Structure 1
Amino acid sequence: AGIWMSGQAPSADTDGNLYLSTGNGTVGTTANRRDTINRGESFLKLTRNGTNFTIASWFTPYNFTNLENGDVDLGSAGLLLIPGTSLAFSGGKEGKLYLVNRDNIGGLSGSTTADTNIVQSFSPSSHQFHGGPVWWDGPGGSYSYVQLSTDFLRQYKFNPPTGKFLLPNFAQSPTAAAGGQPGGLLALSANGTNAGSGIVWATHNVSGDANQAVVTGILRAYNAQNVSNELWNSGQLSARDAVGNLAKFVAPTVANGKVYLATFSNRLNVYGLLPEPLLTIGRAGTNVVLSWPTNTFLNYVLQDNTNLLATNWVTTTNPAVATNGGFQVTIPASRAASFYRLKR
């Protein structure tokens, strides 16, 4: 069996055990389907034994023959090790997600109709899953996020008392990935558990199937507390932010306060916050002219108040005029002395 997981790396716990999934391939032997000599269509826990690894535990879906024959193998995604638990979470090309116990992943069910040997399984859709889930311990609970091909980004809330996910999904994105592969490749950034800091980053195809051709991609940012709230996407100002050609099976990387995204357009895109605009003051005859550079992502407005420490600043009534790559507001000399600030 092959190990590919759509480019995801094996997961590792603090004891040095490795966790991975395998694709199409032989399952055990004809005489013994539970033999560890061959473990296609499986989740594997590998433990170091000298200079080698041995299979310490494994799980194979009951319908492995159908997965193999239909090329809807289990091995299309990496495993998420859920923090603070002994659980692992992943799925495959069948569109089914599996929650398993890492201490005893489950083996092969004795049933021919269901996986009775695992913690939980459910299907967000019938489409393929690539990449892997991401996780956040947020202020209102703990969540995992997945986005299958041709599907919405889905947010599932974890219920610690039962050790399972609450169904149906807690929230979903307003926009689905386009038809075809790969669906959303995800990353999550947050300032710990602080409210308002969690962002789910998702990159996916805009149209077309990336498994059949080079297609255009997009990067989206969602509020991790509720992914029905999209914060930004690279298509809002495509002249500046467009992804270009999607790099299939490549998730965003978040580091140094920036988001790095490889592409098939022969470039690495780096996204980050734009600099704060500088408010400058000048004169035009007896009038005062306040100016700041154009910033089409963060929309700033000019506010004023006669009290610098006030909490009730209001938008300046004088109109802002776009000119020479910036905005200008003219304040007549007859106006009372005031303080001015830019606010987004």
Structure 2
Amino acid sequence: MYVWAEKDFLKAYRWWGKRFDAEPLIATALGTGQQVLAPPYLSDRIDAVGMPGGMLALSIDATRPAAGVLFASVQRCQPTGGSQAFLECSVPRCRTAANCAQQHFGILRAFDPITLRELWNNQADSFGGAENKVYYFAKFVPPTIAHGRVFLATGSGRVLVYGRH
């Protein structure tokens, strides 16, 4: 079972036949290995409420069970002061008001569903242009997976498409 609650880490609870494991596996970020956190709540920022957590979609091929992918759409941070730099909310520096304001931008992430190690994200994708990286996060809209592609509706009035072309 996968859960990414608001202001929390992406977690997986393993099924043991009659019950779930009490200790979750926590996702780690691409390149850094740090635990992946949804944006934190910052009481002094109206635009940093840390909600709603990650919207998840799982793709599994029954003929290749170890080849699945867990996709997550979640908010990311932009510092105050109009900086164009975006920060990963999974890093400690994002837990301050100055570094994690404007949480309305999005990121699409892909994880190994067994290890919860991040495999890819649209911000680190060297082939993706700015139009696929700078968009508003759409709350409660999970990615849609079909025919080898991932479709992501945004709050910017666009649907982004990733995968085979």
Q: CA deviation at 1:195?
A: 4.1
Using the alignment, how far apart are the partners of 2:103 and 2:53 within structure 1? 14
What is the aligned partner in structure 1 of residue 64 from structure 2? 194
Report the secondary structure of 2:64's partner residue: coil
Aligned length, in residue pairs = 124
- Counterpart CA distance in 2 for 1:175 and 1:187 is 17
Structure 1: which 5+ residue stretches go unaligned?
1-143, 275-344
CA contact (8 A) 1:234 1:243 kept: no
Larger of the two Rg values belongs to structure: 1
Q: Point out the structure with the larger strand share.
A: 1
Cα deviation for residue 159 of structure 1 reads 1.1
Q: What is the TM-score normalised by the length of structure 1?
A: 0.34
Alignment of 1:168 onto 2:26: no
Aligned pairs for 1:23-102 within 5 A: none
Residue 107 of structure 2 contacts residue 137 of structure 2 at CA under 8 Å; is this kept in 1?
A: yes
Cα offset, 1:193, TM superposition:
6.2
Q: How far apart are the structure 1 equivalents of 2:4 and 2:23?
A: 15
| Alignment gaps of 5+ in structure 2 | 29-34, 41-49, 79-101
Higher relative contact order (CA 8 A, sep 6+): 2
Q: Given the alignment of the two structures, is residue 203 of structure 1 paired with residue 73 of structure 2, yes or no?
A: yes
* Distance in 1 of aligned mates of 2:149 and 2:111: 15
Deviations 1:123-144 (A, max 9, x none): xxxxxxxxxxxxxxxxxxxxx1
Distance verdict in 2 for CA 1:253–1:166, change over 3 Å:
same
Alpha-carbon offset, residue 150 of structure 1: 1.6
Q: Where in structure 2 are the equivalents of 1:223-242 lying within 5 Å?
A: 223-227=112-116, 229-237=117-125, 239-240=129-130, 241-242=132-133
CA contact (8 A) 2:26 2:36 kept: no
Post-superposition Cα deviations, 1:100-130, rounded to whole Å, max 9, x if no partner, equal xxxxxxxxxxxxxxxxxxxxxxxxxxxxxxx
TM-score (norm 2): 0.68
Equivalence for 2:9: 152
Shift of 1:175: 1.6
Cα distance in structure 2, aligned partners of 1:265 and 1:171: 30
Matching of residue 254 in structure 1 with residue 152 in structure 2: no
Distance change >3 Å, CA 271–CA 200, structure 1 → 2: same
Runs of 4+ with deviation above 4 angstroms: none
